[in-house]
Amino acid sequence: MIVLITGPSGAGKSTFVGALMADDPRLAFSISTTTRPMREGEVNGREYDFVDEEKFQQLISEGAFVEWARVHKNLYGTRHSRLAEMAAVGKIPLLDIDVQGGVDVIDIYDETELVSVFLFPPSWDELERRLRSRATDAEEVITTRLKNARTEVGYAGRYKYWVVNDDLDQAVVRMKAILLAESCRSNVQGKSPLD
Ligand code: ADP
Ligand code: 5GP
């Protein structure tokens, strides 16, 4: 199983993914590769594999990525090798990627192996409030992200599940219900107790 979480910037993906991972030890965060400069407190190989543009282009030409995209001026991609590492230790990869990259992942994987989730903020006003509450972005960046969000929600219909991140705890409860239902699917279990 692969779990894919996406949604507009400010919907609360990082917060939601953090809460979910703290709750479910089967999940392992999929570490993406990026050309974005490292932020204070980040560690190479923990939040991301940080590379320069040249290295990223080389990885593209080697076919190293499951998907990659330019998001807010930087390149981001999910590497086959990172997913393989997680599968090898029996973990469920959890991808927190942008909406377009998510659609690429949906196009690649079979519906039976992928749990795709579009995370919504409860309203446009709340999305704007959350983007401002981070206080890390300039006004121009916030305006661009709100504009992008209008396009991104147009892809929500491609995702299997919709979760509204109104109250964080409630959103996590909904996500746990999704994962529980997915793990009970006959084609995921394979063998019945009576086989
Ligand atoms: P994203 O990763 O989607 O860009 P973040 O996780 O950074 O979003 O969240 C954006 C802001 O919204 C942060 O200030 C975060 O604390 C806040 N936030 C996230 N989820 C909720 C929630 N359920 N209720 C209120 N605020 C939230
Ligand atoms: P940030 O730079 O704030 O960590 O992330 C910016 C955006 O890039 C977020 O929307 C995040 O979901 C997205 N992102 C992170 N990793 C990947 C990835 O591997 N592929 C794609 N397509 N988007 C990613």
**Cα(96) to centroid(ligand 2), Å:** 7
Lookup: tokens for 141: 């960046």
Which residue, among 75, 96, 89, has the nearest Cα to 29 in the 3D structure? 96
Give the number of the atom of ligand 1 that is nearest the alpha carbon of residue 166.
23
* Domains defined along the chain, listed by start: 2-183 (3.40.50.300)
For the chain, the average pLDDT equals 94
**Cα(188) to centroid(ligand 1), Å:** 32
Which comes out higher in pLDDT, residue 195 or 60? 60
- Mutating to test ligand 2, I would choose from 97, 117, 144 the residue with most ligand atoms within 8 A of its C-beta, which is 97
Q: Which residue type is seen at 65?
A: F
Ligand 1 site residues, Cβ closer than 6 angstroms: 7, 9-15, 130, 133-134, 165, 167-168
Question: For strand 32-34 and strand 48-50, is the pairing parallel, antiparallel, or unpaired?
Answer: parallel
**Cα(34) to centroid(ligand 2), Å:** 8
Predicted TM-score of the model (pTM): 0.94
Q: What is the pLDDT of residues 78-126, one digit of tens each?
A: 999 999 999 999 999 999 999 999 999 999 999 889 999 999 999 999 9
Check: CB of residue 99 under 8 Å from CB of residue 74: no
pLDDT at residue 44 greater than cutoff 80? yes
pLDDT of residue 166: 97
**Cα(23) to centroid(ligand 1), Å:** 18
Check: CB of residue 2 under 8 Å from CB of residue 115: yes
pLDDT at residue 140 greater than cutoff 80? yes
Give the number of the atom of ligand 2 that is nearest the alpha carbon of residue 9.
10
Q: Please give the Cα distance from 122 to 119 (Å, whole number).
A: 10
pLDDT at residue 40 greater than cutoff 90? no
Question: For strand 74-79 and strand 2-6, is the pairing parallel, antiparallel, or unpaired?
Answer: unpaired
Q: What is the pLDDT of residues 145-155, one digit of tens each?
A: 999 999 999 99
- Go through the chain and tell me how many residues it has: 195
pLDDT of residue 178: 97
pLDDT at residue 39 greater than cutoff 90? no
Give the number of the atom of ligand 2 that is nearest the alpha carbon of residue 36.
2
